[in-house]
């Protein structure tokens, strides 16, 4: 069985949280659906509800796997969520191909801007 989520150190995680931001990470839409239902049930116990307008989903898949079956929206219970190809979470751009090149290029570009801005002060 292929583990779901992401591995950080020795831990396998499928839910990341920071303040009001929650990232559900799974290997496919079926697993995302199961995890969402579990999260929604817990939220309901605490009197919370999911904001459909601010909630998007992304399935991190191996290259070329299930790309032809990609759907635009995911319906779960009374919710309808838009699928995204990438999103920024805590300053890091994550994408469905699990490729960090875009994020690295953006960081290098921002670092170069700062170096150019302070170039005169560094002489």
Q: For 21-71, how does the pLDDT look when each residue is reduced to its tens digit (9 = 90+)?
A: 777 777 777 888 888 888 888 888 988 888 888 888 877 766 545 455 566
Answer yes or no: are the C-beta atoms of 63 and 101 closer than 8 Å.
no
Give the pair of three-digit tokens for residue 98: 């699990």
How many domains is the chain partitioned into structurally? 1
Residue 97 within a domain: yes
Identify the domain containing residue 99 by its residue range.
6-122
Count of CB atoms situated within 10 Å of the CB of 43? 13
Say what the pLDDT of residue 4 is.
Answer: 63
Beta bridge pairs of residue 11: 8
pLDDT in tens, 96-116: 777 778 778 888 998 898 888
Say what the pLDDT of residue 40 is.
Answer: 87
Residue 51 within a domain: yes
Cα 13 from Cα 11, distance rounded (Å): 6
Answer yes or no: are the C-beta atoms of 30 and 10 closer than 8 Å.
no
Q: Can you give the pTM of this predicted structure?
A: 0.59
Residue 65 within a domain: yes
Answer yes or no: are the C-beta atoms of 52 and 77 closer than 8 Å.
no
Residue 5 has pLDDT above 80, yes or no: no
Say what the pLDDT of residue 117 is.
Answer: 85
Residue 1 within a domain: no
């Amino acid at each position: 069985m292929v583990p779901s989520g992401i591995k950080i150190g020795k831990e396998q995680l499928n839910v990341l949280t920071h303040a009001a931001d929650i990232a559900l990470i799974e290997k496919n839409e079926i697993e995302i659906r199961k995890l969402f239902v579990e999260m929604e049930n817990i939220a309901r116990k605490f009197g919370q509800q999911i904001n459909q307008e601010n909630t998007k989903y992304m399935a991190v898949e191996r290259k070329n796997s299930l790309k032809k079956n990609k759907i635009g929206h995911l319906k779960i219970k009374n919710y309808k969520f838009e699928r995204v190809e990438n999103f920024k979470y805590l300053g890091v751009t994550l994408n469905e191909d699990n490729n960090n090149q875009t994020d690295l290029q953006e960081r290098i570009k921002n670092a170069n801007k700062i170096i150019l801005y302070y170039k005169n002060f560094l002489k």
